[in-house]
Amino acid sequence: MPYRRLVSPRVAALGLGLGLCLAGGPAAAQSTVTIYGRLNTAIEYSRASTATDGTALGSVVRQTNYRSVFGLRGEEGLGGSLKALWQIESNLSLDTGQGQIASRNSRIGLQGDYGLLFMGHWQTPYTESTAAYDPYYPTTAGYMALIGNGSTSSSDNVQDTSSFDRRQKNIVQYRSPQFGGVSVWLGWGLPEEKTTVARNPALYSAAAVYERGPLNATLAYEVHQHYQAAGRNDDAIKVGVAYQLFAGTRVSAIYEHLHYRTDTGDLQRNGYYASLVQQLGPGSVRIGFAYAANGTGASTDTIGFFRSGSGTGATQVTVGYDYPLSKRTALFAWYSRINNHPNAVYDFAINELGVSAGADPQTFALGMRHYF
């Protein structure tokens, strides 16, 4: 998802210096390089209630990482409105010290009067179009537990075949200019796995995004070709709207329909999400509510977090407070709980607990976030 980042004068100067070097000196200074990042981690107390079959999961205290990142991005003017863009974004795990270069949104492309065309490793248009609607994205409390059916930080067409909240390997994307406030985002996850599996898996993702003044609205659609079986496609459609009511108050709402086609039949489900961000004192109260209806269809499979039948729905409620220490640093606290119906197995999409049917996972977090 897109982030707004502030660059300090020192970092800006470094970027300018690197840009001058890359461009061959002041006379040809057309390139810029920016260093940016996000450090985001918390201490969580997590537990789940006893499951329908009597299985009990004990409580745990853990330090969790919320997809902290370190990145470099740059651009080079090529004449007129045309410019080359690039980005290399890497994961940082503050809790374990692990990380991998280019494991997050990374690309190279061209941008001009006719839009932006790029290739690389990037979130799909379907994912990115509503990520900012959730004030807890991407944390343990994020809406991905019920919206999108889980979250995959990085996948190709065969590694994760359930989630519609994903960063896709080997993807080509196009973003159009705005026309009357509307832009079109298109993505194609190339079918490179055709040579390794007995089917032709690919991904097609699209979103129409409207943004003008206080209003943001989106209509997104995604197809997973041959993900479950040869000749069968899964698809998802999502409608979302976010509105800045007045200074300090923002509301968002999403409707989503997921449809899987498995060897044992169809599996479908409706999902809903709403959020409120309300300034209160120096910080903001942030509330999120998600509802997943019962799964329907003849399929006997469990895909990601859901299955067909009665008692397979769930709700998730999250409430917390974000307290800024500066424009770049904040402390936060929140509580999130998933209430599973007797046959439901929904779990947190990031930092899963591992639950049995009917168990209700919950977690309380105290953390700190810093942008640079």
* pLDDT tens string 207-248: 999 999 999 999 999 999 999 999 999 999 999 999 999 889
Amino acid identity, position 334: W
Q: Tokens in use for 130?
A: 């509503």
pLDDT for 13 beyond 90? no
Task: Evaluate whether residue 2 is within a structural domain.
Answer: no
Burial of 101 (0-12, 13-18, 19+ CB in 10 A): exposed
Total domain count for the chain?
Answer: 1
Task: Evaluate whether residue 1 is within a structural domain.
Answer: no
- What's the average model confidence in pLDDT over 45-69? 91
Instruction: Specify the pTM.
Output: 0.90
Task: Evaluate whether residue 3 is within a structural domain.
Answer: no
Q: How confident is the model at residue 94 (pLDDT cuts 50, 70, 90)?
A: confident
pLDDT at 129: 98
Q: Tokens in use for 3?
A: 């982030």
Q: Tokens in use for 88?
A: 């290399």
Domain ranges, residue 15: 9-371
pLDDT at 98: 85
Task: Evaluate whether residue 13 is within a structural domain.
Answer: yes
- What's the average model confidence in pLDDT over 90-117? 93
Dihedral angle, C-alpha 250, 332, 154, 190, nearest 10 °: 20
Query: What does the alpha-carbon distance between residue 290 and residue 316 come to, in Å, rounded to a whole number?
Result: 5
Query: What does the alpha-carbon distance between residue 156 and residue 191 come to, in Å, rounded to a whole number?
Result: 9
Task: Evaluate whether residue 75 is within a structural domain.
Answer: yes
Identify the helix (H) or strand (E) that includes residue 128.
helix 125-128
Task: Evaluate whether residue 345 is within a structural domain.
Answer: yes
Look up the CATH number of the domain holding residue 169: 2.40.160.10
Proportion of the chain above pLDDT 70, given as a percent: 92
Task: Evaluate whether residue 41 is within a structural domain.
Answer: yes
Query: What does the alpha-carbon distance between residue 57 and residue 187 come to, in Å, rounded to a whole number?
Result: 40
The three state secondary structure string of 91-113 is EECCCCCCEECCCCCEEEEEEEC
Query: What does the alpha-carbon distance between residue 323 and residue 284 come to, in Å, rounded to a whole number?
Result: 7
Compute the mean pLDDT over every residue in the chain, rounded to the nearest whole number. 92
- What's the average model confidence in pLDDT over 118-137? 98
Task: Evaluate whether residue 20 is within a structural domain.
Answer: yes
pLDDT for 24 beyond 70? no
pLDDT for 6 beyond 80? no
pLDDT for 281 beyond 70? yes
Identify the helix (H) or strand (E) that includes residue 269.
strand 265-280
Q: Which stretch of 49-63, 297-311, 313-327, 336-350 has the lowest confidence by average pLDDT?
A: 49-63
- What's the average model confidence in pLDDT over 102-120? 97
The answer to whether the CB of 172 falls within 8 A of the CB of 134 is no
